[in-house]
A and B are shown apart, each in its own frame.
Chain A
Amino acid sequence: SQTIHQWPATLVQPVGSPLSLECTVEGTSNPNLYWYRQAAGRGLQLLFYSVGIGQISSEVPQNLSASRPQDRQFILSSKKLLLSDSGFYLCAWSVGRLDTEAFFGQGTRLTVV
């Protein structure tokens, strides 16, 4: 069966420090991968999605970037964190068919201080 791993679960980082959040999927190949951010326990904002290795699409221009160095690995990064980068970051995956749901990781709570 397929599983998704996201780490770390919580992170406290100072302003101006770098960021690297990692997400990996097991049990499937060539998944679509997504990074979402959830602010204040409410709506989800799509940050990046990827349909294949090295293929990254950005939804919102901001202080973050994403990379997909391997088929089932998706990394969210920042060179210099801002206070406004605080939030709950969620990784998700799906297969390419339209009729399938997305499966989410457990999330990373990032607090920038």
Chain B
Amino acid sequence: AQSVAQPEDQVNVAEGNPLTVKCTYSVSGNPYLFWYVQYPNRGLQFLLKYITGDNLVKGSYGFEAEFNKSQTSFHLKKPSALVSDSALYFCAVRDITSGTYKYIFGTGTRLKVLA
């Protein structure tokens, strides 16, 4: 079965410091991986995705993610965190094995950027 894991419930980082939010995946075949951000009482906003090609994917709001096949990881990164980056972040994988194409989400990581 396709799945993603986000090992950290919460990540704290000081404003201006680099941030990393971790995600590992378990898939059959090629992974289709996504990152989303959610602000309080809002829907999820798409940040970036990895489908194929360059292992470093750039997305919205200065975020990027590094795909690592050997470690089955897809960590979200940003060189310099902003207080406004504080939110809930979700990693997701698209299920390509069952023919449903549904999205399977991790449990989420709350990012707190401290001023």
Give A residues with C-beta under 8 Å from B: 6, 32, 34, 36, 41-44, 46, 49, 51, 57, 59, 88, 90, 92, 94, 96, 98-99, 101-107, 109
Contacts and interface: CB of A to CB of B under 8 A. Distances in A.
A32 B94 CA distance: 13
A20 B45 CA distance: 24
Contacts, number: 61
In the A-B complex, the 3 residue pairs with the closest CB atoms: A104-B43, A43-B107, A44-B105
The interface residues of chain A, by DSSP majority, are classed as strand
Chain B contact-residue range equals 20 to 34
16 contacts: A6-B43, A34-B103, A41-B40, A42-B88, A42-B107, A44-B90, A51-B101, A57-B100, A90-B44, A92-B43, A98-B32, A101-B46, A104-B45, A105-B43, A107-B41, A107-B42
